Amino acid sequence: MSPMAGTPEIVNTVADLRARLAPVRERRVRIGLVPTMGALHEGHLSLVRQTRVRCGVVVVSIFVNPAQFGPNEDFARYPRTFDSDCAKLVGLADLVFAPSVAEMYPEGFATRIEVGGPALGLESDFRPHFFSGVATIVAKLLSACMADEATFGEKDYQQLLVIRRLVADLGLPIEIVAGATIREPDGLALSSRNAYLSPAERKIASQLNVVLREVAKKVQQAEPTASAETYGRDALLHAGFTSVDYIAVRDAETLAPIETFTRTARVLAAARIGTTRLIDNMAI
């Protein structure tokens, strides 16, 4: 396989992936992995471009991971757009790793990774299965690819910290790189789930980043975080969100709760419009 091959080659098994990458590794070409669940948008593509700059060979995985969806979540209706995804990766990725569920979770599969630290609270309070499912599949993807680096978006900020913790704790020889959140002109973070929004809901969704900025400003002006969080929750409901799972100001490195702003922090939120759940975050 020659780097920058134009149309990416599609492989479906771990054995084939390793076989394609073995000669690349022998030549000591840097390999980058961008794990995705498909339904690719500009946010994903920005991560691929970022990886392309640093790596001679880029692998994009496309796998809708059932282990991170709860029984009442949207696994069945999660958008699957494989052909158009591959078309978007022409000239950007060298390999697309698209395994089946049976390839990643064969019969008799009985292992899950449990994570603590930054995984505790926030998303885990509402989706207790989520980070175990994420950690398990990410560990399997990293093992399958054996890349030099893997890139994850800051939009899923808690997930990014969980994966960094996972790699550090397991001593995996791979660099975890963060990619900046890509936003629409009105500030809404790009997400595959935005496709679920009706035009009216899409207008409401644009207020999520506005409220996050307002909360960040209040914290920077020395307002207690609890007061700023209450303001943010009320503001989202007033804007038309159906419900708010959380809006929280946390330490940017550990996600531990903080009472006042004394070091780098992050405001994170998850809220629903109808049946669509959106998440976002912003640095303070």
Asked whether 68 and 129 are in contact (CB, 8 A), the reply is yes
pLDDT in tens, 81-114: 999 999 999 999 999 999 999 999 999 999 999 9
What is the per-residue pLDDT for 210? Answer: 98
Asked whether 145 and 51 are in contact (CB, 8 A), the reply is no
What is the per-residue pLDDT for 2? Answer: 52
**Which residues lie across from 97 on neighbouring strands?**
11, 61
Q: What value does the mean pLDDT take over residues 221-228?
A: 96
Residues designated as active site: 44
- Give the count of alpha carbons within 13 A of 179, CB side only: 25
The answer to whether the predicted template modeling score (pTM) of the entire model surpasses 0.85 is yes
pLDDT in tens, 235-266: 999 999 999 999 999 999 999 999 999 889 99
Q: What is the mean pLDDT of the chain?
A: 96
Q: Label the pairing between strands 149-153 and 175-179.
A: parallel
pLDDT at 3 over 80: no
Q: Of 141, 150, 143, which Cα lies nearest the Cα of 178?
A: 150
Asked whether 267 and 247 are in contact (CB, 8 A), the reply is yes
